[in-house]
Amino acid sequence: MPFDPAVIRASFAVVERRADQLTKFFYAHLFTNNPGVEELFPARLAEQRDRLFAALTQLVLRLEEPEKLTGYLAALGRDHRKFQAAPEHYPAVGASLIAALKHFSGHYWTPEIEKAWTEAYTVISQAMIDAAAAVPASTPRWWDAEITGHRRATSDLAVLTLRPDRPYPFTAGQYLTVCSDRRPQVWRPYSVACAPRSDNTLELHVRRVPDGTVSTALVDEVRLGERLRLGPPLGEAVLAPDSDRPLLMVAAGSGWAPVRALLEQLAQDGGRPATVFIAARGDRDLYDLDSVHAMVQEHAWLHAVLSAPDRGASRNEAVRLLREGLREYGDCSGHDIHLSGPPDLVPAVGAQLLEQGAESALLRHDPVTPTFNRSRPLTPAEWFLEERDVPWINRTELG
């Protein structure tokens, strides 16, 4: 490694508390000095600035762990294909990054620091460029998909059926990213709610979140016949190949979507003993009960446990019921386990199941962030003190 990670970390600490100002400066510098590049970014840049600083933080944290850094950069480089990022864009980004860091470092900035950041960015950008170039030319940057079905399952949740313009090579349990022309250049991850189908259609379950940019468009605004862009499939929370171990699945809220896909795949593969806990805040949130009942009636190997408190109960009560049910399930050793639900619930449930004998190597879920906090920091201190849930470009394993 040609640069000194300690120098990078120390200089990053100097500007960390001025993250919001730094990222504003970065984008102003980038757009001013590179006409046309602004078209590749969303119109609302506040979230994009958050994402940039979060990515910088991840990179700085991994500088001394080459194996993790390599995986993170490869995922980031492949994913940037859908943003139409080209090799010629990377030097411009590097120049603006160095300019922003230098501006907000003040007298702390030295030739040694500039050299370290320049060398680090060269390594980082080349890894991303190489990862993107390694993707087969036959793999699209994105798929165009027509909306052929739109059903409001609850007041804030819609079930979408999509028909991609070409075969979409995913595996049950994976997720994808979606972009709508109603919100240009803004991508969001959603789990695919079905196993691969012979007609090439996909199903997504989209819940509108407060101030959700894309979720609001997909739940309330889109119409049949509209087209969405789909990024390549992501995620490793798929069925373990050739496993005959019993399955335990936990699905909370719209986390039912990937679990439903896994059960469909399991049925196609011949089935094996499976128990699924389906949790919600109330009966109204158990939005796909017809499918649950149909699967249980059709497959003797499947057992479903529904967990929903009485109307008006708190979210904490719903979580308590779920965790009590899992405790009653007992020993989880020798099970393949899949968890899907809110990002604050999945780690807690996973920890409980490990205490009940589950093996960490057999426990699968999509990457989750420590908190679900999408409000923006008001002061520099909040950037430094709070862990944040930034809506990521992708949620692939970070190395």
Q: 233 forms bridges with which residues in the sheet?
A: none
pLDDT value, residue 265: 97
Four-residue CA torsion sign, 270, 275, 280, 282: positive
* Third-level CATH fold of 143-230: Elongation Factor Tu (Ef-tu); domain 3 (2.40.30)
Residue 172 to residue 264: CA distance in whole angstroms:
8
The model's pTM: 0.82
Residue 331 to residue 304: CA distance in whole angstroms:
17
pLDDT band for position 384 (cuts 50, 70, 90): very low
Judged on CB neighbours under 10 Å (0-12, 13-18, 19+), 47 is middle
Q: Among 205-214, 215-224, 329-338, which is the least confidently predicted range? A: 205-214
Q: Among 88-97, 208-217, 310-319, 371-380, which is the least confidently predicted range? A: 371-380
* pLDDT surpasses 90 at 394: no
pLDDT value, residue 386: 45
Residue whose C-alpha is closest to residue 40's, from 80, 77, 73, 78: 80
Instruction: Retrieve residue 364's tokens.
Output: 């699968």
pLDDT band for position 310 (cuts 50, 70, 90): confident
* pLDDT surpasses 80 at 52: no
pLDDT value, residue 1: 55
* pLDDT surpasses 90 at 152: yes
Higher pLDDT, 383 or 153: 153
Q: Among 16-25, 145-154, 222-231, 289-298, which is the least confidently predicted range? A: 16-25
**CATH for 247-364?**
3.40.50.80
Q: Compute the average pLDDT of residues 352-381.
A: 72
Q: Across all residues in the chain, what is the average pLDDT?
A: 87
pLDDT band for position 368 (cuts 50, 70, 90): low
Residue 99 to residue 324: CA distance in whole angstroms:
54
Q: What is the 3-state secondary structure (H, E, C) of 16-54?
A: HHHHHHHHHHHHHHHHHHCCCHHHHCCCCCHHHHHHHHH
pLDDT band for position 211 (cuts 50, 70, 90): confident
pLDDT value, residue 369: 53
Q: Compute the average pLDDT of residues 164-176.
A: 96
pLDDT above 70 covers a percentage of the chain that reads 89
Q: Where are the domains of the chain?
A: 5-137+376-385, 143-230, 247-364
Instruction: Retrieve residue 246's tokens.
Output: 């019993």
* pLDDT surpasses 90 at 248: yes
Domain 5-137+376-385 belongs to what architecture?
Answer: Orthogonal Bundle (1.10)
Q: Compute the average pLDDT of residues 147-165.
A: 96
pLDDT band for position 72 (cuts 50, 70, 90): confident
pLDDT value, residue 312: 66
pLDDT band for position 362 (cuts 50, 70, 90): very high
* pLDDT surpasses 60 at 305: yes
pLDDT above 90 covers a percentage of the chain that reads 62
Q: Among 350-354, 375-379, 383-387, 394-398, which is the least confidently predicted range? A: 394-398
pLDDT band for position 315 (cuts 50, 70, 90): confident
Residue 340 to residue 242: CA distance in whole angstroms:
22
Instruction: Retrieve residue 337's tokens.
Output: 């386990």
Residue whose C-alpha is closest to residue 264's, from 214, 319, 315, 203: 203
For 22-35, the pLDDT digits (tens) are 888 999 999 999 99
Q: Compute the average pLDDT of residues 102-118.
A: 94
